[in-house]
Amino acid sequence: MVRRYGRSYETGLLLLFFLRTKPLALFGWRRAGFALWRRGRIRLLPEKIEGIDGLRRIIAKAETFDLPQEAVERPTITDTVGYAAIGLGASS
């Protein structure tokens, strides 16, 4: 959605949510959706932003990054329960 219009689009997000989770619940919300649309609170079709090509180039460049995660060696802890974990085990 962001790639196509340059912004997230509420009506499209709502449709995708209901279609992926509970498609029949969409019919229960039609009255509220119509009221929101009639009062100008929600649009049926999104508007594209200016410079959408620049945004698409930024997104494409960001997707090429695969940042490596540094490997961290941690000491192995074998005794994590009881007195041995705090150094007061039977061997002391």
Whole-model pTM: value is 0.48
Rounded CA-CA distance 37/15 in Å is 14
Domain-by-domain residue ranges, the chain? 2-64
41 token code pair: 């609170």
pLDDT (tens digit per residue) in 57-69: 988 888 888 777 7
- pLDDT at residue 64, as a whole number: 82
**Alpha carbons within 13 A on the beta-carbon side of 11:** 15
pLDDT (tens digit per residue) in 5-64: 777 788 888 888 888 898 888 888 888 888 988 998 888 888 878 888 998 898 888 888
